[in-house]
């Protein structure tokens, strides 16, 4: 963190914790955020990580603004926020291997079953070959993900990895998997040998895990998952936890549970009320659901608590907001920009990880191409790519003037649709949290930096 203070007045200050008014006193100018904090202003560029405090607002064209510019503030936003107007191929690759799952999670967007179909071998191999052939990036990045539980297709995962080894040439290959954590230990050993980045989707101690994420027959999963976590931790193998949080649960208890297991990385996201258990997208305890999605203020409060507890245990805590804040984005995710190749078991190219087959009511919005078996290749619908590219932070009507647009980028498109906002609307829960969280985060950075 670079601190600028030599010729700019510093003030004593206290952290403002009134979360109802935090988003009313912050603006974005070029790459720099200006946050009102009592009788002074914090000036911070998340992209260059320089910070200072000034006693008056740096209006445009003033001497103070010019001094700040000389110190490195108010630069152009980074290239990562740009809008794409052309397309030169996919940069990442995800196989949605199967619609089978051995769990029955209450909030699952995909609602798979134990007898669901899986991707055929020839489709998976054609997809790998086609992606590698068109890939112009410095590495080959392959993710095995949902629609179901990917480790139920262990044989096919091994076949895909072997194929990559044959065709990768001088490109390094990186493998990632998001799994429910119930896989056998022999396959964990194989993934460790092949340097997989492993993330377990787990929600906490047994009473929470077994309620939210039981086996398909209703039996508990916690013993199996915890045993696998301990197995990886005992071998000093890095494992991430993807945690879905409900307001019903004690976030301190949850973080403590993972901390005592030796977990060092948690990706925390709020429960989105959609899936098996949820017939209507509605947030907060007034939704009438027993396990309910957090409202904005509740989520903000609990996330700040989680940050403090994670610090105690030496855990790095992530969510989309933190990951995007210092990097800057114009699109919410790679799929949203048309740069991620997501292949379903039917051979469709999807523009969203949560739209996984032709039965999804939103498939026509997110289908961007399909497999052509006779040619062992894929046809990309460039008109659909062009539509995705227009869902950009500088274009969306409710986002283009927002101070948080390069952190949020409107949030998840499919969640916006499912909450009734439309494709070019905003993900309302994600938006509200981002706008409330950023001022607090900047004030915490100022406190740590002693400005």
pTM of the entire predicted model: 0.90
Integer Cα distance of 396 and 306 in angstroms:
31
Q: In what helix (H) or strand (E) does residue 309 lie, and over which residues does it extend?
A: helix 296-313
Both tokens of 82, joined, read 């740009």
Please name the residues in contact with 33: beta carbons below 8 A apart, sequence gap of 6 or more.
26, 27, 43, 44, 45, 46, 403, 438, 442
Task: Please state the rounded mean pLDDT for residues 312-324.
Answer: 89
Reference 338, options 79, 116, 83, 105; nearest CA is: 83
CB burial readout 45-63, b (16+ within 10 A) else e: bbbeebbbbbeeebeeeee
pLDDT digits (tens, 9 = 90+) for 35-79: 999 999 999 999 999 999 999 999 999 999 999 999 999 999 999
pLDDT digits (tens, 9 = 90+) for 101-138: 999 998 888 888 899 999 999 999 999 999 999 998 89
Domain ranges of the chain: 2-80+432-449
Classify 263 in phi/psi space as left (phi over 0), alpha (psi -120 to 50) or beta: beta
Integer Cα distance of 93 and 340 in angstroms:
6
Both tokens of 434, joined, read 């981002």
pLDDT digits (tens, 9 = 90+) for 376-397: 999 999 999 999 999 999 999 9
Top pLDDT among 275 and 144 is at 144
């Amino acid at each position: 963190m670079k601190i600028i203070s030599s010729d700019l007045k510093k003030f004593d200050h206290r952290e403002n914790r009134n979360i109802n008014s935090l988003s009313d006193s912050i603006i974005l100018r070029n790459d720099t955020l200006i946050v009102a904090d009592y009788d002074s202003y914090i000036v911070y560029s998340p992209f260059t990580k320089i910070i200072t405090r000034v006693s008056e607002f740096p209006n445009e064209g003033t001497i103070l603004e010019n001094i700040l510019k000389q110190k490195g503030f108010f630069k152009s936003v980074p290239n990562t926020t740009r809008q794409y107007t052309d397309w030169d191929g996919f940069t990442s690759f995800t196989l949605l291997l199967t619609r089978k799952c051995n769990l029955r999670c209450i909030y699952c967007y995909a609602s798979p079953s134990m007898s669901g179909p899986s991707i055929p071998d020839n489709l998976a191999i054609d997809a790998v070959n086609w992606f590698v052939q068109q890939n112009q990036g410095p590495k080959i990045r392959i993710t095995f993900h949902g629609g179901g539980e990917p480790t139920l297709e262990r044989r096919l995962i091994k076949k895909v990895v072997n194929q990559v080894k044959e065709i990768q040439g001088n490109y390094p290959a990186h493998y990632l998997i998001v799994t429910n954590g119930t896989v056998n230990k022999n396959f964990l050993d194989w993934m460790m040998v092949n340097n997989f980045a492993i993330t377990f989707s787990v929600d906490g101690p047994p009473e929470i895990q077994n309620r939210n994420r039981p086996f398909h027959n209703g039996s508990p999963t916690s013993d199996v998952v915890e045993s696998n976590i301990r197995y990886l931790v005992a071998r000093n193998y890095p494992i991430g936890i993807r945690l879905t949080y409900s307001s019903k649960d004690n976030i301190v208890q949850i973080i403590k549970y993972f901390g005592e297991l030796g977990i060092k990385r948690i990706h925390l996201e709020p429960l989105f009320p959609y899936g098996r258990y949820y017939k209507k997208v509605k947030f907060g305890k007034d939704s009438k659901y027993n396990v309910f999605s957090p409202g904005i203020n509740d989520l903000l409060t609990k996330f700040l608590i989680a940050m403090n507890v994670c610090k105690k245990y030496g855990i790095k805590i992530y969510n989309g907001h933190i990951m995007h804040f210092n990097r800057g984005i114009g699109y919410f995710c790679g799929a949203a920009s048309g740069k991620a190749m997501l292949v379903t078991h039917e051979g469709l190219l999807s523009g969203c990880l949560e739209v996984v087959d032709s039965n999804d009511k939103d498939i026509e919005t997110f289908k961007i191409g399909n497999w052509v078996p006779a040619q062992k290749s894929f046809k990309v619908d460039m008109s659909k790519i062009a539509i995705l590219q227009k869902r950009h932070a500088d274009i969306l009507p409710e986002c283009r003037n927002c101070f948080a647009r390069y952190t949020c980028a409107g949030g998840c498109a499919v969640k916006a649709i499912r909450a009734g906002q439309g494709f070019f609307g905003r993900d309302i829960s994600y938006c509200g949290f981002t706008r409330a969280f950023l001022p607090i985060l900047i004030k915490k950075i100022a406190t740590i930096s002693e400005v």
